[in-house]
Chain A
Amino acid sequence: MKSNTFAVVLGLLGIVFIVAAILYLVGGILPTFTSSGSAGPHAKHAILCAVLAVASFVAANFARVRTV
């Protein structure tokens, strides 16, 4: 699906995931759905958010309409 609007949405989603990854890393947010729910850094959640951010940016680049 090629659309610049879609690409922008995916890019913004990537930024949201980066922010979430940083917050998880510094312990700024608690992980949802886990049994512990303890405060502090959550490496697994941070890495997952970083992977999702990369995937979002790659998808945004694929969705971008090229003029050339």
Chain B
Amino acid sequence: MGLLQGASELFPVSSLGHAVLVPSLLHWSFKQSDPSFVPFLVLLHIGTATALLVLYRDEWVQIVRGFFAAAFRGSMESDSERLAMLLLVGVIPAAVLGVFFENRIKALFASPYEAAAFLIVNGVLMLGFELFRRRAERGKTRQEQEERFASAERISFRAAAIVGACQALAFIPGISRSGVTIGGGLIAGLRHEEAARFSFLLATPTILGAGLVEVPELFKGGVPVLEYVAAAILAGLAAYASARFLLRYFRSGRLDPYGWYCIAAGLISLALLRFGA
């Protein structure tokens, strides 16, 4: 589960969807209703967020410094200051929607059937984002077009808020956080690699914040902390490798393969769930 969550959290294929589907298909004993399930997910998320912090450690130092400098000055003078403010604007919609609606949304769509169905929806969304981008690129080579699109620091604050709000869709099991934020970034006019970078930077405080708030759950009785920590380390390692791979992949790659994967995985899962694995 640690490896699965760490890898699928950053790939645009929905970690939550896989966390609901895979145990159900493989008849693992994980149950979302189990009191130890939430602390387990919390630690896995902290592992993933730590991997992202390590990956972007230099950038986060600049972003934190930039945030305080710009906040006290009341103006932005460097790219890192602008990026810090864009991330703040991007985090707020997901935080507000997450705090008020996450549990309700998850409770509504927690069954494996719904996760499989929304995995198909996620795939269609990925293909739709790429179709939208291809229209903007029409008539020129990929290389020429990519040069026209912006880096993360140059998008508008409204675009950052929209990309941030897209994160809230990921509360639905089957819809990928990184998928919808990378797709939102593409629509906002970012290059693929920059859309992935902005998505990962945006995910770090969101995942870490959501994880840290639940830490007290770990100290409740009956939680096998050592086993959970081992799973979190595996999740972190998988997330680090995934992020490195994806950043290299998106230099020339697109979302389409993940879109087709989600559609295929969703259809196969529905069939297996319906007719028995």
Whether A and B are associated in the same complex: the answer reads: yes
Residue ranges of A at the interface with B (Cβ–Cβ < 8 Å): 31-36, 43-45, 47-48, 51-52, 54-55, 57-58, 61-62, 64, 66
Q: A33-B100, A33-B101, A48-B99 are in contact. List 15 more A-B contacts (CB 8 A).
A: A31-B99, A31-B100, A34-B100, A34-B103, A35-B103, A45-B99, A51-B95, A52-B96, A54-B71, A55-B88, A58-B71, A58-B85, A61-B72, A61-B73, A66-B74
Q: Confirm or deny: B131 has a beta carbon within 8 angstroms of a beta carbon on chain A.
A: no
Q: Which residue of the partner chain B has the closest CB to A57?
A: B71
A-B contact pairs, 28 of them (CB 8 A): A31-B99, A31-B100, A33-B100, A33-B101, A33-B104, A34-B100, A34-B103, A34-B104, A35-B103, A43-B213, A43-B216, A44-B213, A45-B99, A47-B213, A48-B95, A48-B99, A51-B91, A51-B92, A51-B95, A52-B96, A54-B71, A55-B88, A55-B89, A55-B92, A57-B71, A58-B71, A58-B88, A61-B73
Q: What size tier do the contact residues of chain B reach?
A: 20 to 34
Residue on A nearest B215 in the bound complex, by CB = A43
Query: CA–CA, A35 to B101, complex, Å?
Result: 9
Q: Which of A35, A47, A57, A58 contacts B104 (CB 8 A)?
A: A35
Which label, helix, strand, loop or mixed, suits the secondary structure of the B interface? helix
For the complex formed, measure the closest distance between the CB of A63 and the CB atoms of chain B, giving whole angstroms. 8
Distance from B165 Cβ to chain A, minimum over Cβ atoms (Å) = 15
Q: Tell me if B23 counts as interface (CB < 8 A to partner A).
A: no
A43 contact set on B, CB distance < 8 A: 213, 216
Chain A min CB distance to B12 (Å): 26
